[in-house]
């Protein structure tokens, strides 16, 4: 499977917006485990079927899930390619921040007093 790593700013916004709601994260988690019908998903939430459909639509717009018709049912499954791309994006952010923290640690170590020296900088 070939995974394109670069996401446009618009795609990034849609992914983070989709993942901002706990219900959508739960729907994504459930559809990673197995393909499910929208009606089966809706049975487990204390909200209307239409509300669950809206959550599914947000996930679909972010390309985190794929919806397909099978007869009268709409089946939903996670999109592993987009999940991998989002994960790669988060890994790049993590690498960036770890690098910055490492540089900060190095700067702080340079400014630290030598062991056994007077931290006030005075000599007797």
CATH code (residue 56): 1.10.10.10
User: In this structure, is residue 119 part of a structural domain?
Assistant: no
Contacts (Cβ under 8 Å, ≥6 apart) of 113: 119
Taking a C-beta distance cutoff of 8 angstroms, is the pair 67, 103 a contact?
Answer: no
How large is the average pLDDT for residues 66-92?
A: 94
Taking a C-beta distance cutoff of 8 angstroms, is the pair 73, 39 a contact?
Answer: yes
User: In this structure, is residue 40 part of a structural domain?
Assistant: yes
Inform me whether the pLDDT recorded for 122 exceeds 70: no
Contacts (Cβ under 8 Å, ≥6 apart) of 75: 35, 36, 37, 38, 67, 68, 69
The total domain count for the chain is 1
pTM of the model: 0.75
More confident residue, 60 or 105: 60
Q: How confident is the model at residue 3 (pLDDT cuts 50, 70, 90)?
A: very low
Inform me whether the pLDDT recorded for 57 exceeds 60: yes
Tokens found for residue 2: 């070939």
Q: How confident is the model at residue 2 (pLDDT cuts 50, 70, 90)?
A: very low
Can you spell out the DSSP letters for 1-65?
A: --------HHHHHHHHHHHTSHHHHHHHHHHHHS-EEHHHHHHTSSS-HHHHHHHHHHHHHTTSE
Domain coverage including residue 45: 9-79
Inform me whether the pLDDT recorded for 74 exceeds 80: yes
User: In this structure, is residue 57 part of a structural domain?
Assistant: yes
pLDDT averaged over the chain?
Answer: 89
User: In this structure, is residue 16 part of a structural domain?
Assistant: yes
User: In this structure, is residue 47 part of a structural domain?
Assistant: yes
Inform me whether the pLDDT recorded for 39 exceeds 90: yes
User: In this structure, is residue 41 part of a structural domain?
Assistant: yes
Out of 34-38, 49-53, 73-77, 97-101, which region has the weakest mean confidence (pLDDT)?
A: 97-101
Return the H-helix or E-strand segment holding 78: strand 73-78
User: In this structure, is residue 30 part of a structural domain?
Assistant: yes
Inform me whether the pLDDT recorded for 34 exceeds 70: yes
pLDDT for residue 56: 97
Which has the closest alpha carbon to 66: 16, 20, 23, 32? 32
């Amino acid at each position: 499977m070939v995974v394109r790593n670069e996401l446009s700013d618009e795609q990034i916004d849609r992914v983070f917006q989709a993942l901002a709601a706990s219900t959508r994260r739960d729907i994504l988690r459930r559809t990673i485990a197995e393909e499910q019908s929208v009606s089966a998903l809706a049975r487990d939430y204390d909200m209307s079927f239409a509300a669950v459909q809206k959550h599914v639509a947000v996930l679909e717009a972010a390309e985190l899930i794929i919806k397909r018709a099978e007869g009268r049912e709409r089946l939903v499954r996670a999109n592993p390619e987009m999940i991998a791309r989002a994960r790669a994006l988060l890994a790049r952010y993590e690498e960036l921040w770890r690098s910055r923290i490492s540089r900060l640690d190095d700067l702080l170590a340079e400014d630290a007093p030598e062991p056994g020296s007077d931290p006030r900088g005075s000599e007797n």
